[in-house]
Amino acid sequence: MGSYVQAEDQVPVYESGAELVRQFTELALENIYLRRRRALVDSLEWIVLQVLQEKYCCKKSSGHAAPYPAMYSSVVGGIILDPAMMVLPMDDHMVHRGHGVFDTAMILDGCLYELDAHLDRFLRSAANARIASPFPRDTLRGILVQMTAASGCRRGSIRYWLSSGPGDFLLSSKGCPSPAFYGVVIAAHYEQCREGVRAVTTAVPMKPPQFAVTKNVNYLPNVLSIMDAEDRGAFASVWVDDNGYVAEGPMVNVAFVTPDRELLLPPFEKILSGCTAKRMLALAPKLVDAGLLTAVVNDRHITVDEAKRSLEMAFVGSGLPVLPIVQWDDQHIGDGKVGPLMLALSDLLWEDMKSGPDRIPVPYAASSN
């Protein structure tokens, strides 16, 4: 067990599954009954570990990198670097009842972007789902920064979850002794999006507002809607509400440049308030000042017909940050080409990700590449 971070309150880092198994076997063997069967306990746990590690070694030997460089689990009580040990208990209510929330943050050039904004939304989602946190906010933040440092990853993302925790297989979470917190680092070489894509209107029903505004793990509608889009040769789908107003995409917000050169994003009252979308709204007045846009609007609904008459349209989300849409269903947006205003907004967000004020430098160890 070691440390890959530089901080006062360091989280334990388990570099290998063997180290983790030894740690928990020693705790288990404090029980006299198990001590008498030490050889059996050791052999069974090592067999399980060996099978799991062989699975991931096969992936690496076939040219696939280890899927995730680091994970945190409050159940384990530390950061795990061995992919074979990155597991969740089956009786965690997030697994079998969907009682959990999650959020994300991007890693770019060794910095976490907008972690605080995402963490605030994360805790609002947890409150909506009636899930307490096992740690104060500052501790959650510190764990995520240390997990990223331990991973050595300098470009990608982190994802993290709060669940009502493991306990039983009942519907109620009252049998769960403690909520659980998990996190994982996902290495990915993403770049700014500058090519246009096609979107389609999905027939998959959207979530009711109470659930749409909470970033929870119940993503079946989202999954089915993007599968619907992929089946139809599109990048992603767009939800339209019962009143005929544009809502959002399955994992992104939607933005428009109207014929009057207004930047318009649908209100967040019935959809998820995207952190990247809100950052776009904060940066866009620079284009108003430059005379490229006439206004920035987030308090007005837009119908499908109005939206399809837009000059430009884009998906907006953390990993994009702006993805121009050049065709919606069978209709071209504008002239059917990527427009200059969405590219200008993309440039503003990308520059903010690389040098803006909402970046947290990750305290990697000196030996980390």
How far CA 93 is from CA of 88, 114, 169, 310, in Å, comes to 11, 29, 7, 44
DSSP 3-state assignment of 76?
coil
Cβ distance 157 to 318 under 8 Å?
A: yes
Burial of 141 (0-12, 13-18, 19+ CB in 10 A): middle
Set 59, 174, 215, 270: catalytic member? 215
d(CA 88, CA 247): 33
d(CA 263, CA 253): 13
d(CA 266, CA 300): 6
d(CA 218, CA 197): 27
Q: Hey, what are 302's tokens?
A: 């837009």
d(CA 202, CA 221): 10
d(CA 1, CA 8): 17
* Residue 215 annotated as catalytic: yes
Catalytic residues, by residue number, are 215
